[in-house]
Amino acid sequence: MSAALIVPIKNGGPRWKKVISSIQEQSLRPQRLVVIDSGSTDGSDELAKTAGFEVYAIPPGQFDHGGTRQMAVEMVPECEIVVFLTQDAVLADADSLERIVSALYAYPQAAIAYGRQVPRSEAGPIERHARLFNYPEQSIEKRLDDIPTLGIKTAFSSNSFAAYRRAKLVQAGGFPRNCAMAEDMIAAARILLQGGTVVYVANARVIHSHGFTPLAEARRYYQIGRMHAQQHDLLAKFQSPTSEGQRFVRSELNFLARHAPWRIPEALLRTTLKLCAYRWGKRSVYLMEQPH
pLDDT average, residue stretch 6-32: 96
pLDDT average, residue stretch 151-158: 93
Angle of helix 242-259 relative to helix 125-134, nearest 10 degrees? 130
**pLDDT tens digits, 35-58:** 999 999 999 999 999 999 999 999
Question: Strand pairing of 90-91 and 3-9?
Answer: unpaired
CA separation for the pair 183, 174 (Å, rounded)? 9
CB proximity list for 225: less than 8 A, separation 6 or greater: 277, 278, 279, 280, 281, 282, 283, 284, 285
CA separation for the pair 124, 238 (Å, rounded)? 32
CB proximity list for 169: less than 8 A, separation 6 or greater: 73, 82, 111, 112, 175, 187, 191
Set out the domains of the chain in order of their start, with CATH numbers: 3-207 (3.90.550.10), 214-289 (no CATH)
Q: Report the share of the chain in percent with pLDDT over 70.
A: 97
Question: Which residue spans within 123-241 are E strands per DSSP?
Answer: 140-142, 161-165, 197-207
What is the DSSP-derived secondary structure letter of residue 284?
H
pLDDT of residue 240: 65
**pLDDT tens digits, 223-265:** 999 988 988 899 888 876 667 888 899 999 999 999 999 999 9
**pLDDT tens digits, 157-206:** 999 999 999 999 999 999 998 877 889 999 999 999 999 999 999 999 99
User: Residue 127 pLDDT more than 80?
Assistant: yes
CA separation for the pair 142, 201 (Å, rounded)? 11
User: Residue 292 pLDDT more than 60?
Assistant: no
Q: What is the mean pLDDT of the chain?
A: 93
